[in-house]
Amino acid sequence: MRGVKDRRSLQRLVDVGIAVLLAGIGVAEIWVPFTSVQGSGSAATTTVVVVLATLPLALRRVAPLPTALFVLAVWPVVFTVTPLLVLFWGQFVPMVVAVFSVARYGRGRQGVYGAVAGAATLLFLDFRVDVLQSPGEIVFHWLVFIVAWSVGRGLNVMELRAAESLRRAIEVEVASAERALAAVVEERTRIARELHDVVAHSVSVMVVQAGAAEQVVEDDPAHVRAALETIRRTGTEALAEMRRVVAMLRDAEEAGTLTPQPGLGQLRVLVDEARSGGLEVSLTVTGTTDRLPAGLDLAAYRILQEALTNVRRHAGASHAEVHVRYEDESLTLEVRDDGRSRSTTGAEPGPDPVAVGTGGLGHGLIGMRERVGIYGGRLDAGPTRDGGFRVLAVLPLAGTPRVST
């Protein structure tokens, strides 16, 4: 980016230098004078016209068509009012530069308009200026204009074609990278499915062996030891395969170290973090459980974490209520706030967004829905009648031991 800015600054400096140089040479051509000066007219007036016709060339890249029209028109306009000296460096050269520039840097049909303006200027000078009406002068002027415009136009077309080729090359490269990435993802998914089958089979073997050992634990200790050895070996292999799955699916930039995952045991810490941001949060826990499955425990924590994050970021709330209810067959998580509805803040959808699928869902609610869906639960999220917002997640607790209170 800096290189582009430096190049543009250099180009502007070059254009200013060309304009000032031509103005200086044109003025010197009048007052030295050079042998190229022809015709009769006021030297002072011609000097003013030279300055007017050369200094705008500093903008020949920025505004090629307006610059060319001004430079080409200033001489005929003044000639119609008063006689001027006919110059090569101060008059003809600036017009040639203007014609070249509009053909080189003009976009669309600007180059054509510049060519028409140049032809009109030459026709005016050929008919109105006596010293330019000889056949040699006419052929020279027209030939130089045509060559200058053609060279500029050719460079313009080459640049456009190069830019188009670069664009197509980038598109091809991006498409190729996308196809390669899709192939990698597809292959990783296939491998993950295969490894999942391997792990599932290993776990099944462990369950069968454990059940068999349980039946003969008193009668056949040798069989129990063999079963435990099979369970240990199979578990080790399954763990290794599971690590391969995780390593394959993990992003390369993610840290490789393993850290304990949070659960509802850290719920009060999560609530305290929400309070530290100025949000008033009340926590109510109903019922207890001896043990939650690790995955379910993590999912519940993440759902509450995302819900509180949404309250702080989007709701404009001052108070939030967190309710956790351990029931006989399910774990219910509820977060209410007194802020604005997400549908009015633009962060989340309106009433019952989960019921209508993922269309319009924010990333937070999509993540909650996915976590709830893994465990066959239910998620309701939407505005409340009092103007706040509620997230309600119900997670089944099949097979989890309970202690009622």
283 and 223 within one domain: no
| Last residue within a domain, chosen from 117, 133, 149 | 133
Q: Is residue 140 part of a domain?
A: no
356 and 332 within one domain: yes
CATH of the domain at 278: 3.30.565.10
82 and 108 within one domain: yes
Q: Is residue 89 part of a domain?
A: yes
399 and 268 within one domain: yes
Q: Is residue 148 part of a domain?
A: no
129 and 210 within one domain: no
Averaged over 13-23, what is the pLDDT? Answer: 94
371 and 317 within one domain: yes
pLDDT in the model for residue 278 = 78
Q: Is residue 179 part of a domain?
A: no
Q: Please state the domain count of the chain.
A: 3
314 and 214 within one domain: no
CB 286 within 8 A of CB 301: no
235 and 289 within one domain: no
128 and 18 within one domain: yes
In whole angstroms, what is the distance from residue 164 CA to residue 25 CA? 40
pLDDT digits (tens, 9 = 90+) for 307-355: 988 888 766 788 899 999 998 888 999 999 887 655 433 334 333 333 3
- Helix, strand, coil percent content, the chain, rounded in steps of 5: 65, 10, 25
Of 120-129, 135-144, 280-289, least confident by mean pLDDT is 280-289
Q: Is the pTM of this model over 0.95?
A: no
Secondary structure (DSSP) of 311-327 = IIIII--SEEEEEEEE-
pLDDT in the model for residue 251 = 57
Q: Is residue 393 part of a domain?
A: yes
CB 15 within 8 A of CB 59: yes
Structure-token match 């690590």, residue found: 243
388 and 289 within one domain: yes
| Last residue within a domain, chosen from 214, 249, 284 | 249
271 and 240 within one domain: no
Name the band, by pLDDT with cuts 50, 70 and 90, for residue 368.
confident
Better-scored residue on pLDDT, 194 or 89: 89
Averaged over 77-101, what is the pLDDT? Answer: 93
| Last residue within a domain, chosen from 201, 220, 249 | 249
Q: Is residue 293 part of a domain?
A: yes
282 and 394 within one domain: yes
Q: Is residue 349 part of a domain?
A: yes
Structural domain harbouring 228: 189-249
